[in-house]
Amino acid sequence: MIGYNDTIRHPSTIRRTVNEKMIGAIDVKAKKVYTAGAMAALLSLSACTQLPWQDNHEQVQHQKSSVGQRNEKDKGKSALPSSEKMVSGMNQDHIYVVADPASTQVLVNKHFKLPEDYVPKDLVYLHVPFIFSGKSEKKEMQAVAAKPLKEMFAAAKKDGIELAGVSAYRSHKTQIALFNYYAQRDGVKKALEYSARPGTSEHETGLAIDVSGITGKYAATQAFGKTPEAAWLGKHAQDFGFIVRYPKGKESVTGYEYEAWHLRYVGISAAKKITDSGETLEEYLHEVPVNK
Ligand SMILES: [Zn+2]
């Protein structure tokens, strides 16, 4: 963290041509200081926290309604709680709003969030095996990523590797419900240690998916990293435009521990460059490391 604030005060010095397009000038909205726990940025934690109530829609609905009540007057805009309010009083940091959320190379991390009203335009249902049955937004991704994902699953199967989806898209409302649930249960500071702040979860982009073997054993756990499925993905995901978004040894850049299961679509060319160079998306876009 030391020195980070100094850097971020002069965003122009860290911009390069690519991320100028991606992130652009800081959104006016971002001038509202979005607070973030400094400790949270220092910790490398899971980016894929699942809903504690699994697919229990009744409870999700309950969480959603309580969120809605708090924002009755904002109805129509999209009922969003001000998560920044929840952390007022903590050490402050800046979270910038990305200018081009629909880009396949959008950078979403602990310092860059999606606009609060952002919903990916072309979410489609994924026709690949999942470790759970029934309909769910977790089985959706942006169309641009859905086709290559299906092709990747098919290619893996040819190699004797049967993959399954664990969780793909997560709406902003769901992420809010999830975060608020944890914040109310454990306090905001604690919640930030294992759950992404609304808007900063890559799952909200519709370009990320957690993947496991077909049995679901080791899904979204460190043990998955040692499976043949993880090895296959580490080698071949790039051919389909996906990267292992939080690689081993890059915790200080991504802000998250190694997650062999969390794949992010960035397009084939970028995926190959990132994987071949052993870089992260942050480094590829010449962005500041999360934990600096
Ligand atoms: Zn994930």
Give me the DSSP letters along 141-170. EEHHHHHHHHHHHHHHHHTT--EEEEE---
pLDDT of residue 35: 32
Q: Could you tell me the end-to-end alpha-carbon distance of the chain, in angstroms, rounded to an integer?
A: 5
Q: Is the pLDDT of residue 223 over 80?
A: yes
Quickly state the pLDDT bin for 55 (edges 50, 70, 90). very low
Distances (CA, A) of 241 to 12, 162, 246: 29, 19, 15
| Portion of the chain with pLDDT greater than 70, in percent | 69
Instruction: Assign 271 to helix, strand or coil.
Output: helix
The answer, yes or no, to whether residue 73 has pLDDT greater than 50, is no
pLDDT of residue 281: 97
pLDDT tens-digit profile of 127-178? Answer: 999 999 999 999 999 999 999 999 999 999 999 999 999 999 999 999 999 9
Which of 202, 204, 251, 259 does the annotation list as catalytic? 259
Residues bordering ligand 1, an ion, CB closer than 5 Å: 48, 210, 262
Dist. CA 233 → ligand 1 center (Å): 14
* Confidence band, pLDDT 50/70/90 cuts, at residue 51: low
Question: Considering only 40-44, 99-103, 144-148, 262-266, which range has the smallest mean pLDDT?
Answer: 40-44
What average pLDDT score do residues 2-19 get? 32
Compute the distance from residue 39 Cα to the ligand 1 centre, in Å: 21
pLDDT at 50: 64
Strands 112-113 and 96-97: parallel
CB contact at 8 A, 113 and 200? yes
Residue of 169 and 86 predicted with greater confidence: 169
User: What are the phi and psi torsion angles at 101 (to 5°)?
Assistant: -65, -25
73 Cα–ligand 1 center, Å: 33
Q: Which domains are assigned to the chain?
A: 4-284 (3.30.1380.10)
Task: Between 239 and 83, name the one with better pLDDT.
Answer: 239
140: which 2 tokens?
């959706």
Arithmetic mean of pLDDT, 205-213: 98
* Ligand 1 centroid – CA 258 distance (Å): 11
pLDDT value of residue 75: 32
Distances (CA, A) of 139 to 124, 142, 171, 193: 8, 11, 12, 26
Ligand 1: centre distance to CA 89 (Å):
29
Alpha-carbon dihedral angle through residues 271, 278, 225, 183, given to the nearest 10 degrees? -80
Ligand 1 centre and the CA of 244: distance in Å?
10
Determine contact, residues 291/251, Cβ cutoff 8 Å.
Answer: yes
Range with the poorest average pLDDT among 90-94, 210-214, 288-292: 90-94
Least confident interval from 67-76, 154-163, 205-214: 67-76
259 is a catalytic site residue: yes
